[in-house]
Amino acid sequence: MLGGTVQEMRRTAMVTYSYAHGVSDTALLGDTIGANLDRAVQAYGDREALVDVGSDRRWTYAQFGADVERLACALLAIGVAKGDRVGIWAVNCPEWVLVQYATARIGAVMVNINPAYRVHELEYVLRQAEVSVLFASLAHKTSDYRTMVEQVRGNCPRLSRVVFIGDPGWSELLAEGADVPRSALAAREAGLSCDDAINIQYTSGTTGFPKGATLSHHNVLNNGYFVGELLAYSEADRICVPVPFYHCFGMVMGNLAATSHGACVVVPAASFDPEATLRAVERERCTSLYGVPTMFIAELNLPGFAAYDLSSLRTGIMAGSPCPAEVMKRVVAEMHMAEVSICYGMTETSPVSTQTRTDDDLERRTGTVGRVMPHVEVKVVDPTGVTVPRGEAGELCTRGYSVMLGYWNEPERTAETIDAGRWMHTGDLAVMREDGYVEIVGRIKDMIIRGGENVYPREIEEFLHRHPKIADVQVVGVPDERYGEEVLACVIPRDPADPPTLDEVSAYCRDRLAHYKVPRHLRILDAFPMTVSGKVRKVELREGYGA
């Protein structure tokens, strides 16, 4: 009996479990965002901090710091207290960035509001967060923001001031702060802690209303800083940010990664435009470019793509959704982004938990989402919460400085995702390889169960990206009377006049994938239903099939 116990212990000791800790010699920052910006202004005052290509407006660090102070003093003048919620409902523009840093300087909580929200969603966020001051665009695409605000204002009793960007109200607000002494701002900042909440980001849920992930200075500043560290950012870098500021990708991985390293943020357009993005990279000699995979696909497929001079690029980030390997290879080869990085995370983790490194080989940068970030822990667990051996699939969990404070005023929903050990449960299915690199194999809710077999859409999507007639593909499960679910491939063809047929797709898969993974249904689309942040709405692909 004793011998058996010893043998079992030996076998257990040989197992490498799916757990990793980001040990680092670089300490976490203990700053507030305002204090960190002050240091950048002192060190890089004459260098450019922010460029808006559309309006050709430019700020050096000294000018940017001064304008942030002016806006912060204006907010003090109208009575914004520490912890008050200040909403911003706007597309990408320099004012968005000024609001981000000004609210942080006075300890207000900036509430990011998705520019695509309609009246019902806007009212929910304003009421749930009890927003007292709102900054908003005047209009964008089909949205008349001024009219929409008026429609909900009567139902939002805490909303006392609305400032429209591009309207005289912006200048009027700044004028109100002209007589506020800088000593008043300094006094406010002296009472702030890096652990204070300064940001609420509403995450889109599949059911019910969105949840407000509440983030601190410590959460977002450190995440932005370490993303920039792993990309080797310095004051020489110029980061093209076509992703939305309202999302962590723009405001943390973009803005905070830049200012914590003295780099410059380049805003190519109010919302994503592939041509404007490539023009901005060429004109501003950007060294880094961000995007979700669909953005890079649009840029690579742009007529005249080869005419743009992108030789200044060296790095960037592809994130937001699984990154097809074939797209990544083209980005490296055709966009000069030899050091491009894959980042994985979620709003609730500020956002990045794993990242590839600039010296990783192509296989790691196309086949994985990298390894654990500095000062972060990750593990992969089975449905009972037990950590699985490396190489086995399970739910990815993350813990550390980056995990949110919680969902705003929703402790029950917070407890559903953050367990007693402060592990954030991501809902993503992952495999941790022997080398510690993580592969995302799908969402738990997106996993297809066909006749008892687990099918991970990501694997099929990666494979079908190699098909010569397919430009982009998303795989979902649809109901089937015999097997419970069947595999549906939703395809955007390279040539709309010559789309692939189901027989062609099936034949392509048949000898290379297990039979239960071969798509039984095919849907040809011009575009996928998307969120504003560039994520594909798979639930709509499922619901729309057969309609």
What would the pLDDT profile of 350-389 be if each residue is shown by its tens digit?
A: 999 999 999 998 889 888 999 999 999 999 999 999 999 9
**How many Cβ atoms from other residues are within 10 Å of residue 139's Cβ?**
15
Confidence of residue 74 (pLDDT cuts 50, 70, 90): very high
C-alpha distances in Å from residue 43, one per residue of 37, 138, 235, 262, 263: 10, 36, 10, 8, 11
Confidence of residue 141 (pLDDT cuts 50, 70, 90): confident
Q: Name which residue leads in pLDDT, 232 or 482.
A: 232
Confidence of residue 513 (pLDDT cuts 50, 70, 90): confident
pTM: 0.86
Q: Tell me the per-residue pLDDT of 7-43, one tens digit each, with 9 for 90 and over.
A: 544 445 578 999 999 999 999 999 999 999 999 999 9
- Which 3 state secondary structure label does DSSP give 365? helix
* Stretch (H or E) spanning 332: helix 325-334
Does the pLDDT value for residue 207 go beyond 70?
A: no
DSSP assignment of 479-540: EETTTEEEEEEEEEESSTTSPPPHHHHHHHHHTTS-GGGS-SEEEE-SS--B-TTS-B-HHH
Per-residue pLDDT at 397:
98
Per-residue pLDDT at 121:
87
Which residues, other chains included, contact 306 with Cβ-Cβ below 8 Å and sequence gap of 6+?
Answer: none
Q: Give the angle 53-178-186 at the CA atoms, nearest 5°.
A: 90
Per-residue pLDDT at 370:
96
Q: Can you tell me the distance from the alpha carbon of 259 to that of 267, in angstroms, rounded to the nearest whole number?
A: 14
Q: Can you tell me the distance from the alpha carbon of 41 to that of 483, in angstroms, rounded to the nearest whole number?
A: 62
Q: Name which residue leads in pLDDT, 321 or 4.
A: 321
pLDDT above 90: percentage of residues in the chain: 80
Over range 428-435, report the average pLDDT.
95
Q: Please report where in the chains the tokens 């204090």 appear, as a residue.
A: 35
- Alpha carbons within 13 angstroms on the beta-carbon side of residue 497 total 0
Does the pLDDT value for residue 2 go beyond 50?
A: no
Output the 3-class SS for 178-223: CCCCHHHHHHHHHCCCCCCEEEEEEECCCCCCCEEEEEEHHHHHHH
Is residue 237 within 8 Å of residue 320, measured between CB atoms?
A: no
Over range 142-162, report the average pLDDT.
95
Confidence of residue 181 (pLDDT cuts 50, 70, 90): very high
Per-residue pLDDT at 327:
87
**Amino acid present at 199:** N
Does the pLDDT value for residue 208 go beyond 50?
A: yes
Q: Tell me the per-residue pLDDT of 191-205, one tens digit each, with 9 for 90 and over.
A: 999 999 999 999 864
Q: Directed axis angle between helix 33-44 and helix 61-77, to 10°?
A: 150
Over range 512-536, report the average pLDDT.
86
Per-residue pLDDT at 526:
95
Per-residue pLDDT at 204:
64
Is residue 392 within 8 Å of residue 410, measured between CB atoms?
A: no
How far apart, in Å, do the first and last CA atoms of the chain sit? 63
* Stretch (H or E) spanning 354: strand 352-355
Phi/psi for 127 (5° steps) reads: -80, -45
Instruction: Provide Rg for the chain, Cα atoms.
Output: 24
Report residue 123 as tokens. 């009212």
> Shortest CA distance to 529 belongs to which of 542, 547, 546?
542
- Which 3 state secondary structure label does DSSP give 59? strand
Cα–chain center distance at 362: 23
Averaged pLDDT of the chain:
92
Is residue 263 within 8 Å of residue 244, measured between CB atoms?
A: no
Per-residue pLDDT at 449:
80
**How many Cβ atoms from other residues are within 10 Å of residue 454's Cβ?**
13
**Across 220-224, 505-509, 532-536, least confident range:** 532-536
Q: Tell me the per-residue pLDDT of 48-66, one tens digit each, with 9 for 90 and over.
A: 999 999 999 999 999 999 9
Confidence of residue 282 (pLDDT cuts 50, 70, 90): very high
Is residue 455 within 8 Å of residue 441, measured between CB atoms?
A: no
Q: Can you tell me the distance from the alpha carbon of 203 to that of 215, in angstroms, rounded to the nearest whole number?
A: 12
Per-residue pLDDT at 532:
61
Q: Can you tell me the distance from the alpha carbon of 438 to that of 355, in angstroms, rounded to the nearest whole number?
A: 9
Q: Please report where in the chains the tokens 């407890």 appear, as a residue.
A: 415
Is residue 5 within 8 Å of residue 11, measured between CB atoms?
A: no
Report residue 205 as tokens. 């849920």
547 class by beta-carbon count within 10 Å (0-12 exposed, 13-18 middle, 19+ buried) = exposed
> What strand order describes the sheet that includes 109-112?
161-165, 131-137, 85-89, 109-112, 197-203, 211-216, 406-407
Q: Can you tell me the distance from the alpha carbon of 202 to that of 88, in angstroms, rounded to the nearest whole number?
A: 12
Confidence of residue 206 (pLDDT cuts 50, 70, 90): very low
Per-residue pLDDT at 382:
95
Is residue 380 within 8 Å of residue 430, measured between CB atoms?
A: yes
Confidence of residue 3 (pLDDT cuts 50, 70, 90): very low
